[in-house]
Each structure stands twice: as structure tokens, then as C-alpha cells.
């Protein structure tokens, strides 16, 4: 069994990061947690309680259109779950026949893997292990 700790965030690809952020932060009252600016994307995490919504916008408009997968404004992309052990989780996923998009990736204090949605019930899950636990 996977040692789930909590839902960390839900990732949503958006057509306009600024528009989506305005709605969730200024109008809904979600709390700004952090911003990410990479070569290929911008993202912002807005927290509500112990979980967050990650808004993602690819910097290349064609890449963003592809990632929106036919939606015009936003698409729920993944659900991120913090786990006790990423290695143990990967072993369970393999035993269940659930494929990953690639090897573990590190960002900040987390190391993560993502499932291929066609092998995980039509949903992409991100499993995250925090450095040093807790």
C-alpha cells in the first residue's frame, strides 16, 4: 500500500495565469504560497488550508494550447499527493501496472514522479516525497 500523507496540490493548466490568479487570489481569497518561473513555464501556488492549487501556463503559446488539451480557459491536469517514501510508492505503482512519465525529478524540497493517466484511471497523479520527511 502507498503511504499517503496528504493532498499537496491540484495542478491546473490555464490559458492566462494572470486571469486565473486574479480570480483565485483576489476574488476567492486563496493565499499566495509561491511562484515558479522556469524556461518553459510559469506557475503560481495558491493555498487554502493544507492544500494548494497550482496554476500553470506554458511560455510557448502552442505548447500551452497542447497542454490545455482542447479546453479554452483551463484544464485540471494532475493531483499531487505527498507520500512517506517515493521509492516504496514507485514499487507499488509498478506492481499495479501503473506507468510513470519518466524518472523522479527534484524541485525545491520535493522529489516527484507523475503517472501516465492512461494507466492510472484517466487521472495523472504526482507523488511527492519531501526531503528529510515530514
Tens of pLDDT along 2-55? 999 999 999 999 999 999 999 999 999 999 999 999 999 999 999 999 999 999
Q: Which domain holds residue 106?
A: 4-130
**Dihedral, CA atoms, 88, 34, 108, 16, nearest 10 degrees?**
80
pLDDT at residue 4, as a whole number: 93
pTM of the model: 0.90
For residue 79, the domain's CATH number is: 3.10.180.10
Cα distances from 83 to residues 29, 41, 45, in angstroms, run: 28, 25, 19
pLDDT at residue 128, as a whole number: 97
- Tally of structural domains, the chain: 1
Percent with pLDDT over 70 in the chain: 99
Amino acid at each position: 500500500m502507498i503511504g499517503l500523507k496528504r493532498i499537496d496540490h491540484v495542478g491546473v493548466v490555464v490559458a492566462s495565469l494572470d486571469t486565473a490568479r486574479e480570480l483565485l487570489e483576489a476574488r476567492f481569497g486563496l493565499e499566495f504560497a509561491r511562484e515558479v518561473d522556469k524556461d518553459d513555464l510559469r506557475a503560481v501556488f495558491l493555498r487554502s488550508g493544507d492544500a494548494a492549487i497550482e496554476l500553470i501556463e506554458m511560455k510557448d503559446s502552442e505548447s500551452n494550447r497542447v497542454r490545455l488539451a482542447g479546453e479554452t480557459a483551463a484544464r485540471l491536469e494532475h493531483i499531487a499527493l505527498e507520500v512517506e517514501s517515493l521509492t516504496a510508492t514507485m514499487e507499488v505503482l509498478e506492481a499495479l501496472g501503473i506507468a510513470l512519465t519518466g524518472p523522479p525529478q527534484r524541485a525545491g524540497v520535493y522529489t516527484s514522479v507523475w503517472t501516465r493517466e492512461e494507466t492510472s484511471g484517466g487521472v495523472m497523479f504526482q507523488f511527492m516525497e519531501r526531503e528529510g520527511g515530514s
